[in-house]
Amino acid sequence: LMLALRRGYHGVGIEIGKADVKECCDYMTRYLEFHRIKHKKSESSLTVRGKLGGRETKFVLSDTAENFKAGDTRAMRMIQGDTRDAQALLKTESVHLMVTDVPYGVQKGTAGKHDSIGGTLSAALCGWYDALKPGGVLAMSFNTYVTRRADLERMCALAGFEMVETGNLEHWVEQAINRDVILARRA
């Protein structure tokens, strides 16, 4: 998200962990204040299917006070919610690039339920696809010891994505993690 802002883009993130979202927002607040960057912070509740679906913290900022006043701003939105609700949390065709780091464990607890990584991804991929602009790309890193590339590619294809040839991006991280990356494009 910080890289998007530094490059002049808007950024939005979805994370289910309340403590992780708080840490990110606290860091952003300190960063903006330390560097005396003109900004406005707002918080709101988000509704998904008629129920509370998450909380959003939004930072609107600009490089100068004059640009801020003129409306020449960038925004970073941090959503504390379930990525499987991306379709409801993000506007359709609003994202150019989506980056995700698939859980590295065997099981991932989400919203108080334990399901497989594949189950979480299958539920999320359609929402991610809808959020991407036509030609937008999903970059997904994963642990090859837990998740197979062929399985991820199959799930992406079922959601409507086209796979992008990347060459070999696989690399060893530690004893339990061998990371790889795939890219999938919205047609």
Burial class (CB in 10 A: 0-12, 13-18, 19+), 95: buried
Tell me how far apart the alpha carbons of residues 85 and 15 are, in angstroms, rounded to a whole number.
11
CA 106 → CA 16, 33, 144, distances in Å? Answer: 18, 40, 11
> Tokens at residue 179, please?
């990371």
**Structure token pair of residue 44:** 């709101």
Mean pLDDT of 40-66: 93
Confirm if 175 and 148 have CB atoms less than 8 A apart: no
Specify the pLDDT at position 112.
42
Rounded to two decimals, what is the model's pTM? 0.84
Identify the pLDDT of residue 167. 86
DSSP, collapsed to helix, strand or coil, labels residue 39 as: strand
pLDDT for 74: 96
Rounded CA-CA distance 128/98 in Å is 8
For residue 68, name the pLDDT band (cuts at 50, 70, 90).
Answer: very high
* pLDDT the model gives residue 114: 43
Residue with tokens 């890193």: 141
pLDDT at 113 over 80: no
Q: Please, are residues 2 and 61 in contact by the beta-carbon 8 Å criterion?
A: no
pLDDT in tens, 81-104: 999 999 999 999 999 999 998 876
Count of alpha carbons within 13 Å of 23, Cβ hemisphere only? 6
